Amino acid sequence: MSFPYALTLVADRTATTLTHEVIDIACHMLKGGAPVVLSPGEAVDIPCPGPVPGAPTAATLRTIFARHKVDALLVKTRGRRKAVLVADMDSTIIANETLDDIAAHLGVGEEVRLITEASMNGEIDFESALRARVALLEGKPAAVLHEVLGEIVIREDAATLVRTMKAHRARTALVSGGFTFFTDHVAGICGFDENHGNVLEIRDGILTGRLAADVLGPESKLHHLENIAEERGVKLGATLTTGDGANDLPMLQAAGLGIAYHGKPIVREAVSRQVNFAGLRSLLFAQGYPASDFVS
């Protein structure tokens, strides 16, 4: 018997193990098919019926398995493997918040951090927050960008996520509210097909405190998603997006599979599919890829 949905359970393999006890709890709750191991001790699929009255909701499942520090993603099995990936950069593909790091090097870290936090939580609109933060960099040496570049930490399995999807003919894009100085570098290492970001204005080696182009914000991220899907010849239902901040919400909500990755509170409230414990491999497991198919 085939089922229209699957519950994907994923544990953080660096910190814990997905136990038989946890898998049994899910099987009992869902009354679906036999679990399919995607990665021993890390990830399983449990085929199950679609959401019906009286059945556990995605939010209920997420809450129950959070007690075990396990991510639970309820996904449709039809069209599960996506043809487009659009990913945020800061605090998603990389561990850094690059603008905060720039500011810290230049002695304005706390001022910028507070604005960043308010923006990512949706308390200040993205464009106003970005322009206010960039203005604090006025007159500072642009050489700081190279220092921050050297400190970037690309998340484990970011390249695996991108390369595995590309191996299955997906189009991949890094679309960031951060800066092209960093997206060019990160996209190259991970293998993204394209990257987009904001452009800092620099004159004579000095940051002017302004942007050199229009702001790439929430609606721009959605626009890039729509364009990339059209170019790839697929509908939005065939796309996967991931990000952590309020500026990612439009693209997360529009995609066929939008996954909040260690999201801010406002994002976790708005997006039902969440990865809060495990790493970027979860985005492949959510598409039904077993670890044996990963391209690393």
Fold of 1-78: Alpha-Beta Plaits (3.30.70)
Could you say which residues of the chain have pLDDT below 50?
none
Task: Write a three-state SS string for the chain.
Answer: CCCCEEEEEEECCCCCCCCHHHHHHHHHHHCCCCCEEEECCCEEEEEECCCCCCCCCHHHHHHHHHCCCEEEEEEECCCCCCCEEEECCECCCECCCHHHHHHHHCCCHHHHHHHHHHHHCCCCCHHHHHHHHHHCCCCCECCHHHHHHCCCCECCCHHHHHHHHHHCCCEEEEEEEEEHHHHHHHHHHHCCCEEEEECEEEECCEEEEEECCCCCCHHHHHHHHHHHHHHHCCCHHHEEEEECCHHHHHHHHHCCEEEEECCCHHHHHHCCCEECCCCCHHHHHCCCCCHHHCCC
Question: What pLDDT does residue 2 have?
Answer: 86
| 214 included as an active-site residue | no
Catalytic residue among 12, 45, 71, 90: 90
| 24 included as an active-site residue | no
The ranges assigned to domains in the chain are 1-78, 79-296
Question: What pLDDT does residue 1 have?
Answer: 63
What CATH number matches the domain at 79-296, 3.40.50.1000, 3.40.50.800, 1.10.540.10, 3.40.50.1820? 3.40.50.1000
Catalytic residue among 12, 71, 88, 101: 88
